[in-house]
Amino acid sequence: DAGVTQSPTHLIKTRGQQVTLRCSPKSGHDTVSWYQQALGQGPQFIFQYYEEEERQRGNFPDRFSGHQFPNYSSELNVNALWLGDSALYLCASSFFSGWTSGQETQYFGPGTRLLVL
Amino acid sequence: LAKTTQPISMDSYEGQEVNITCSHNNIATNDYITWYQQFPSQGPRFIIQGYKTKVTNEVASLFIPADRKSSTLSLPRVSLSDTAVYYCLVEYGNDMRFGAGTRLTVKP
């Protein structure tokens, strides 16, 4: 049973460029969340996708967008990259068990390390 | 402002029990508390999740008092391989907030 996978593992971009990161959820999971983790800090929630729609969003600008496909995999797109976007981007998947059932356990992938020069 | 707060670092010795506390004053009624372990250049690894009182699994225990404004992760008999950063995660409405992490160093 494959866990959460992410690609690529590392990426180098220059300021102003655009980047797309990819995530495949754990088998049986239907919800994907994305986090940004700067060096030495805790992960910061970007957004969450369920049923191909953005369900929740953290405090990130519109330059950060995403997509979820019918097979539950997901992409994170970042436009007009800044130096400050350099971070480890984490994808987490979970299974939605109902609106009143409480927090779903999230399982994380290894992350994509993005460096913006 | 909803905030999840943890100590920055802790030191311990092999074989000791380690307790790491997380404060989450504005936790909502239906929100769970989840703890993760993270090694350098890896994604966080799920340890334990709880809602109230006590939860125990094969690697840890989680204690949550009645007011749920804090929680304590307990690692029994730590080993050198438990050296890592430990995060608590709480969902505040539509915003999932990790603490800044507690760097645990286990010494021989």
Give pLDDT tens digits for B3-23.
888 999 999 999 999 999 999
**Residue A70 near residue A88 (C-beta atoms within 8 A):** no
How many whole angstroms separate alpha carbon A59 and alpha carbon A47?
9
Tokens of A6: 């992410």
What are the residues of chain B with a beta carbon less than 8 Å away from any beta carbon of chain A?
Answer: 30-32, 34, 36, 41-46, 49, 51, 87, 89, 91, 94-101
Residue B29 confidence (pLDDT) = 77
Residue A74 phi, psi (nearest 5): -145, 155
- Which chain B residue's Cα is nearest to A42? B100
- Kindly state the average pLDDT of the residues A50-75: 95
Residue A69 phi, psi (nearest 5): -95, 165
User: Smallest Cβ distance to B49: which of A35, A105, A111?
Assistant: A105
Query: Quick check: B104 pLDDT over 90?
Result: yes
**Residue B31 near residue A102 (C-beta atoms within 8 A):** yes
**Residue A82 near residue A75 (C-beta atoms within 8 A):** no
- Kindly state the average pLDDT of the residues B77-101: 90
Q: Which amino acid is at B47?
A: I
B-chain residues within 8 Å CB-CB of A48?
96
Check if A24 contacts B (Cβ < 8 Å).
no
B49/A110 CB distance under 8 A: no
Interface test with chain B among A103, A104, A105, by most B beta carbons within 10 Å: A103
Tally Cβ neighbours within 10 Å of residue B65. 11
Q: Which residue has the tokens 């400050």?
A: A84
Q: What is the pLDDT of residues A5-35, one digit of tens each?
A: 999 999 999 999 999 999 999 999 999 999 9
Mean pLDDT of chain A: 92
Is the Cα torsion angle A38, B79, B68, B45 positive or negative in sign?
A: positive
Query: Quick check: A101 pLDDT over 60?
Result: no
B91/A103 CB distance under 8 A: yes
Q: How far is B64 from chain A (nearest CA, A)?
A: 15
Q: What is the pLDDT of residues B20-76, one digit of tens each?
A: 999 998 887 778 899 999 999 899 999 999 988 899 999 999 999 999 999 999 999
